[in-house]
Amino acid sequence: MHFSKMHGLGNDFMVINCIENNFFPLSHTIKKLSNRHTGIGFDQLLLVEKSNNPLFDFNYKIFNANGNEVEQCGNGARCFGLFLLLKGLTNKKKIFVSTKTRKLIIEFMPDNMIKVNMDEPDFKYYKLLSFQNKLDDPFSIKLLKDNLICSVISIGNPHCVIKVQCIKNAPVNIIGENIEKNPIFPEKINVGFMEIIKKNYIKLRVYERDVGETQSCGSGACAAVAVGIAQKILSNSVQVKLLGGKLIIQWKGFGHPLYMIGPAKHIYDGYIYI
């Protein structure tokens, strides 16, 4: 099985071309491949598939390191687009991609930057859940014994966003794991910790479900900025500083798609016997 190792701001991926050769990975196979000591090592496995829908150029599948399929990955989308270019699978400047839950538009920009139309954020997601303690703010809820105030949103995958005073001292792994496994979220949830520096600049750390804290989370950056814009505390274009680097998130508000702009890197190609 030939593959590419790629990363988006340190969020790393194994990418496989499944257009001509079908590959249906079993959970235990993904776990072995993702092991950083005895396998290849990655946060997510990305599969490039042909689309059966004429409106889309490709289909995009994402699996976490523990073998679970997930709906969305923003950093992965940029790596997905770069992979298509590097392997000669497209010569378009703009490609349309279907995922498990929504559509993406990936656009190649100057200076090796990649822009992804992530579709409109979904704030109705929290209404599908049976929260015991809601706040008057339609974008916030209370969780855990300390009544931690957070906002729940879907960017094709579920996110919980918490505003903190100092991101450096935030107990990301402790709180992240507690919220991720809260039974109120039957499919688990990603947890973002946002420190607002200015209206157009934030710092962010993300605890990803089934993975733990990662160097970067593209959909988490989108979720945090969307929450800030909905609450009118952030501007329509925000630079997000993650552990692995910076992203630009742009959103004009309700009724409009959200855009993510950032880099993607190819590390190496290889093959492995499965």
Q: Could you please report the per-residue DSSP string of 109-156?
A: -GGG-EEEE----BGGGGGGS--SSB-SSTT-EEETTTTEEEEEEESS
For helices 218-230 and 74-86, the axis angle rounded to 10 degrees is 130
Q: Hey, what are 83's tokens?
A: 């992979």
160 is known as an active-site residue: no
Beta-strand (E) ranges in the chain? 2-8, 11-17, 44-50, 58-64, 69-70, 94-98, 103-108, 114-117, 141-143, 148-154, 158-163, 190-198, 201-208, 212-213, 237-242, 245-251, 258-262, 265-271
Backbone angles phi, psi at 249, to 5 degrees: -115, 130
Catalytic residue among 18, 73, 160, 166: 73
Catalytic residue among 79, 160, 217, 222: 217
217 is known as an active-site residue: yes
Catalytic residue ranges: 73, 217
